[in-house]
Amino acid sequence: MSPETSGTLGDIFWDLPSWIVYTAGLDLGCTIYVANPTETEKEYSLMARLSRNSTVITEEVLPVYGLSWFKVDPGELVSLKGAIRFSESGASLTVFLVERETEERTDSITTVLTAPSTSSLPPGWPTPDTTTGFDWNSLLAMMPPVVMLGIVAVALKPQKEAEKKVEIKPGTGVKQLPEGRQV
C-alpha cells in the first residue's frame, strides 16, 4: 500500500479495539465499514491476514454476501456485519481493503488477538517474575482492601475528633471526661 493512494480509493474501519482477548476457534463478531470516497462506483475485496511477528500464519479473502468482490456506490459507506474465526490466537489480525481495478491494498485495519490467560492484568503489563519474586497480580489483589480501609478511616475520623472534646455543663461545675467519668 503506497502512502499516496492510502484512503484515496477506499477507506476501511471497524468496531474492534486495538487488542482483544480471543480464544482460538471461536467466532469473533465485528462490523466492518467500507467507504468509497471517489465519484465512481468501486468494487472491493476484504483480505484477512493473521501474523505473528513477521511470520504470516494465514491470509485469506473474507467473503461478503458469499462473494469475493462487492460494490460500493460513489460517496457511500457500507456496514458489513459478520463474524470471523481463526485457529490461532496470540497474533495480529490485519484486514486489507483491496480495490479491484488497480488491485491495490488501499487501506487496512489491525487488532491484536491476545490469547486468554489466568492473569488479571491487561496484555502488555509485566507478568509475575519468578526470579525477583515480584507479582503484579498480588499487588492488584491488595488494592481493593486497602481502598476500603482508607474509606472507612476517612469516615470514622470526624467522629473520633468529636469524641475528644471536653464539655462543661453549665451550672453543675462538673467536668465530663472522654471516658464518661465525672470529676
- Picking from 44, 20, 50, the residue whose alpha carbon sits closest to that of residue 32 is 44
Q: What is the pLDDT of residue 144?
A: 77
| Residue whose entry in the numeric block shows the C-alpha cell 488479571 | 120
Domain ranges of the chain: 11-114
Q: What is the pLDDT of residue 6?
A: 47
- Picking from 151, 108, 89, 127, the residue whose alpha carbon sits closest to that of residue 6 is 108
Q: What is the pLDDT of residue 167?
A: 57
Q: What is the pLDDT of residue 33?
A: 93
Q: What is the pLDDT of residue 145?
A: 75
Average pLDDT per block of 10 residues along the chain, 183 residues long: 56 89 88 91 92 90 89 90 88 92 90 76 55 58 75 68 56 59 57
Q: What is the pLDDT of residue 151?
A: 79
Strand residue runs (E) in the chain: 11-14, 19-21, 27-35, 42-52, 55-62, 70-72, 77-85, 91-99, 104-114, 167-168, 175-176
The fold for domain 11-114 equals: Immunoglobulin-like (2.60.40)
Q: What is the pLDDT of residue 71?
A: 92
Q: What is the pLDDT of residue 165?
A: 58
Global confidence as pTM: 0.59
Q: What is the pLDDT of residue 70?
A: 92
One-letter amino acid for residue 74 of the chain:
P
| Residue whose entry in the numeric block shows the C-alpha cell 456485519 | 81
Q: What is the pLDDT of residue 97?
A: 93
Q: What is the pLDDT of residue 137?
A: 62
